[in-house]
A and B are shown apart, each in its own frame.
Chain A
Amino acid sequence: MIRKGILKAWASPLSSVQIIGSLSVYLDSIPTSRAIPTAEMVVGRNVAVLFLDPSNFLDAVIIAVWTS
């Protein structure tokens, strides 16, 4: 399962992401793909979060970052 989100905080290698649909609460401590350059992890950018296990937020990874 892949979810779109907005990067709210970034402290390599973990991110805090506002998954679209969650107005008030963010998903914290999401690992980020090593393929993404650190300089691209800018707060406010869109990110794609791949949930390898839809039930477990610890089994997820940010696989893409982009600007609208």
Chain B
Amino acid sequence: MRTLSGTLTAAQKTASALPHPKVEILDRVAGLTRLNWTRLYTGAEADAFHAVAMPADGSLIRLRIDSTNLYRQRVTTPGAGSDFATWTSWAVTAYAVALCAYGSAVFAFRVGLDGKLYRADSADSGASWGAWVDMGAITGTAATRLACCCKSATLAIVLYSQSNAVYRRRLSGGSWEAAAAWSLSVASITGLAVRYQGDWNVVVTGTQVTTLKPYVWTCVYGDGYSAGVGTWSALVELTRAEAGSNVSFAFPCLDFPDVFRAFFVEAYSGSEAYTRPFGTHSLATADFISNLWREPVPFNLASTYGLALCHSSTYVWLTRPDAVWRASLTPASVELTADVLLLATALGEASGELSLSLRNDDGRYNTLGTGTYAAIKLGSEILFSPGYRTTAGIEVSSGQAYWITGWEYVSRPPSSVFCLRASDGWAMLERWKARRQYTWAAAAKNIFQLLSWLHARAGLEFSSFSTSSAIVNQYPAFTINPGESGRSSVLRLLSKVPDVLYFRGNYGYIVNPLAADASAYTYGTTHAILEGRYITRSKESNRAQVFGAAVFTEDFDWTEIELLSDILSQVKDLNLTTTTRAHERGAAELREAAIHALDGIVLVPLNCGQEMYDVVDLTDAVAGLVAAKRRVLSLSHIYNPTKGQYVLKIGLGAL
């Protein structure tokens, strides 16, 4: 249960409390600003190597190669009316280019046609440049890849590929260190990107050694945050393909405007071939090294050389030689509390929905997506924070988030109502569909880690309030078949453990419901029960047989067996290789049955902090209940001011 202030707790127990269900809509997805790209420039420049950086003065610095000639551009106040078509020839040649900035310092790198690495420095945000400095021979070719980034104006790094190895040179103590190879192995490198954030965070595209499978990897060149200074972490998969699948990856870019955001090019050379950038981002709380990325999604562009990213404090910039896009980092938002005519939620064990009716008698919601209602779009985030007017003023309990799935207009002249429909993290999981076969070998990840990966692919954070032994100690061989939803995959994983999942905002939380859990709230004494139904039923299973790999176990609920004979459930799972794991599964089967052996609902004045799977105690003398403990298995918030309703319907189960 979410923690409430004393005054809000007191208010929700009084019969005369004034409701205040706060409703806001933000142009965000799972807590992160949705980047709405606006294309500011469409030119005729060739798709080729290019780079972008934005120093502190806000100017947009771009480099591009046309054939082998290097051009640069500086737009001092980039915006909708800016000239992105004028380029200055640098009168040098290049195979590859990279660009980075910090404060007013800007570093440009190129791999010359003579195979050497060159650098040019600017101390005035790219307004003027020093001469190219020869940094030495690197046997550069058209296959050489180049990336750079700054930690500060005096600490920077440049990475370049040479055959199947990556070399780094760091600016430290006023000079560039000698080249040093990484400690990792790949068969080939088709792209490099790096961004400093605690460590030197790197995205690499190429092919795997031996198997020659194309990969997009991430790794960290340590600076003491997630990896030791000067050490390389292992390459880990962001996505991959088979060697013979006609799919390959190249030209990644990486930036950290709010979270890590990356693009890379995925190319398919089969029928209906494509060469298309795909975009992805990390989660707000995830370190780069945890490698939790939202599912990469295609960007509406054909491009061989991909995109380049940079940002200011207000915009993210995305470029190609012939294109400039920008997207605001500040999400549009609007509060709708005053317009609410009806609000209802329906939260269940694997679903969560919200419906919202708003006054539209003056047609205020007839134009959506612009102006005051710019935030009202498909997929936007609705934050519902139930509250009351308390002795301390208006207080609410935030924590519920839904994402808009659709809307309707209901016209009964002179009445006009605008109705929004939205769903929670369960629907986000449902909308994620496996676009390929995903497999994890036994011992690769435990169930908690698999759930975390699945949530990340749907853009959701994942954490726990409590966990079972099974969820952290089972490392199953697991697969997700193409077309299967994230929700279905999550439910299959949860069926292996006693733990349950619910959503608070954009977080999925795991809870291990224990029979000994303490009550979080009391109804029927100072917080009235308006209506109650209390149901007892036989358990769906009282004897669980588990068949593992050469393992067989049984678990029993003897009390029920003596009353009803045995009601058998059977589990067959070759991932279970020990009696300990098998008994955990059997116990989970019986726990699930026990929790659902009690049923019913109570209707109470709306409790702002109640959450799924809380334990509450009920006193309802008419039904013979005194401090009877129940677990919350469903929640329905109802706000209907015309009927004076501000209530919570709580679905009940056993502990």
Distance (whole angstroms) from the CB of A61 to the closest CB of chain B: 12
Beyond A23-B245, A26-B242, is A58–B436 a contact (Cβ under 8 Å)?
no
Residue tally, chain A, CB below 8 Å to B: 23
A67 interface contact, C-beta 8 A: no
Interface of B is mostly: loop
- Interface contact B574-A53, CB-CB below 8 Å: yes
Residues of chain A within 8 A (CB-CB) of B481 are 1, 3, 19, 21-22, 51, 54
Q: How far is the CA of A21 from the CA of B434 in the complex (A)?
A: 9
Residues of chain B within 8 A (CB-CB) of A54 are 481, 492
A56 interface contact, C-beta 8 A: yes
A63 interface contact, C-beta 8 A: no
In-complex Cβ contact of A56 among B437, B438, B476 (8 A): B476
Beyond A23-B245, A25-B245, is A57–B439 a contact (Cβ under 8 Å)?
yes
Beyond A24-B242, A27-B479, is A53–B436 a contact (Cβ under 8 Å)?
no
- Interface contact A24-B241, CB-CB below 8 Å: yes
A68 interface contact, C-beta 8 A: no
A:15-68 near B, CB below 8 Å: 18-28, 51-59
In-complex Cβ contact of B477 among A21, A52, A57 (8 A): A57
B560 interface contact, C-beta 8 A: no
A-contact bits for B540-563, CB 8 A (1 contact / 0 none): 000000000000000000000000
Residues of chain B within 8 A (CB-CB) of A56 are 476-479, 573-575
B483 interface contact, C-beta 8 A: yes
Q: How far is the CA of A14 from the CA of B476 in the complex (A)?
A: 20
Beyond A19-B481, A22-B482, is A53–B442 a contact (Cβ under 8 Å)?
no
B:440-483 near A, CB below 8 Å: 442, 476-479, 481-483
B:184-206 near A, CB below 8 Å: none
Distance (whole angstroms) from the CB of B70 to the closest CB of chain A: 35
Interface centre among A19, A21, A24, A53 (most CB of B within 10 A): A24
B364 interface contact, C-beta 8 A: no
B497 interface contact, C-beta 8 A: no
- Interface contact A55-B492, CB-CB below 8 Å: yes
B268 interface contact, C-beta 8 A: yes
Q: How far is the CA of A24 from the CA of B214 in the complex (A)?
A: 10
Beyond A20-B482, A23-B268, A25-B242, is A58–B437 a contact (Cβ under 8 Å)?
no
- Interface contact B477-A58, CB-CB below 8 Å: yes
Q: How far is the CA of A57 from the CA of B481 in the complex (A)?
A: 9
Q: How far is the CA of A1 from the CA of B574 in the complex (A)?
A: 16
Residues of chain B within 8 A (CB-CB) of A18 are 242, 245
- Interface contact A27-B492, CB-CB below 8 Å: no
Residues of chain A within 8 A (CB-CB) of B492 are 54-55
Q: How far is the CA of A25 from the CA of B492 in the complex (A)?
A: 22
Distance (whole angstroms) from the CB of A21 to the closest CB of chain B: 3
Residues of chain A within 8 A (CB-CB) of B442 are 58
- Interface contact B483-A21, CB-CB below 8 Å: yes
B247 interface contact, C-beta 8 A: yes
- Interface contact A24-B240, CB-CB below 8 Å: yes
- Interface contact B477-A23, CB-CB below 8 Å: no
- Interface contact B247-A23, CB-CB below 8 Å: yes
**In the complex, residue of chain A having the shortest beta-carbon distance to the beta carbon of B442:** A58
Residues of chain A within 8 A (CB-CB) of B575 are 56
**In the complex, residue of chain A having the shortest beta-carbon distance to the beta carbon of B241:** A24
B:482-498 near A, CB below 8 Å: 482-483, 492-493
Residues of chain B within 8 A (CB-CB) of A8 are 242, 244
Residues of chain A within 8 A (CB-CB) of B533 are none
In-complex Cβ contact of B437 among A1, A26, A55, A59 (8 A): A26
Q: How far is the CA of A55 from the CA of B245 in the complex (A)?
A: 24
B431 interface contact, C-beta 8 A: no
Q: How far is the CA of A25 from the CA of B481 in the complex (A)?
A: 11
A-contact bits for B308-333, CB 8 A (1 contact / 0 none): 00000000000000000000000000
B2 interface contact, C-beta 8 A: no
Distance (whole angstroms) from the CB of B412 to the closest CB of chain A: 46
B39 interface contact, C-beta 8 A: no
In-complex Cβ contact of B482 among A21, A51, A52 (8 A): A21
B:40-61 near A, CB below 8 Å: none
Q: How far is the CA of A20 from the CA of B573 in the complex (A)?
A: 25
- Interface contact A24-B245, CB-CB below 8 Å: yes
Residues of chain A within 8 A (CB-CB) of B437 are 19, 22, 25-27
A-contact bits for B409-423, CB 8 A (1 contact / 0 none): 000000000000000
Residues of chain A within 8 A (CB-CB) of B477 are 56-58
Distance (whole angstroms) from the CB of B216 to the closest CB of chain A: 11
In-complex Cβ contact of A25 among B241, B268, B478 (8 A): B241
Distance (whole angstroms) from the CB of B404 to the closest CB of chain A: 29
Residues of chain B within 8 A (CB-CB) of A52 are 572
**In the complex, residue of chain B having the shortest beta-carbon distance to the beta carbon of A26:** B242
Residues of chain B within 8 A (CB-CB) of A19 are 437, 481-482
Residues of chain B within 8 A (CB-CB) of A57 are 439, 477-479
Residues of chain A within 8 A (CB-CB) of B244 are 8
Q: How far is the CA of A3 from the CA of B482 in the complex (A)?
A: 10
Residues of chain A within 8 A (CB-CB) of B241 are 24-25
Q: How far is the CA of A19 from the CA of B435 in the complex (A)?
A: 11
Distance (whole angstroms) from the CB of A44 to the closest CB of chain B: 11
In-complex Cβ contact of B247 among A1, A24, A55 (8 A): A24
Residues of chain A within 8 A (CB-CB) of B438 are 25
Q: How far is the CA of A59 from the CA of B573 in the complex (A)?
A: 9
A-contact bits for B424-440, CB 8 A (1 contact / 0 none): 00000000000111110
Q: How far is the CA of A56 from the CA of B547 in the complex (A)?
A: 14
Q: How far is the CA of A20 from the CA of B477 in the complex (A)?
A: 21
Q: How far is the CA of A55 from the CA of B497 in the complex (A)?
A: 14
Residues of chain B within 8 A (CB-CB) of A27 are 437, 439, 479
Besides A3-B481, A51-B481, A59-B574, 12 new A-B residue pairs in contact (Cβ under 8 A), listed by A number = A20-B482, A21-B481, A22-B435, A22-B482, A24-B436, A26-B242, A27-B439, A27-B479, A55-B492, A56-B478, A56-B574, A57-B479
Chain B residues at the A interface, C-beta cutoff of 8 Å? 240-242, 244-245, 247, 268, 435-439, 442, 476-479, 481-483, 492-493, 572-575
Q: Which 9 A-B pairs have the closest CB atoms?
A: A21-B482, A24-B241, A57-B479, A22-B437, A22-B436, A24-B247, A22-B482, A25-B436, A24-B245
Chain A residues at the B interface, C-beta cutoff of 8 Å? 1, 3, 8, 18-28, 51-59
Q: Pick 10 A–B contacts, CB within 8 A, sort by A.
A: A8-B242, A18-B242, A19-B482, A20-B482, A22-B481, A23-B268, A24-B241, A26-B437, A56-B575, A58-B477
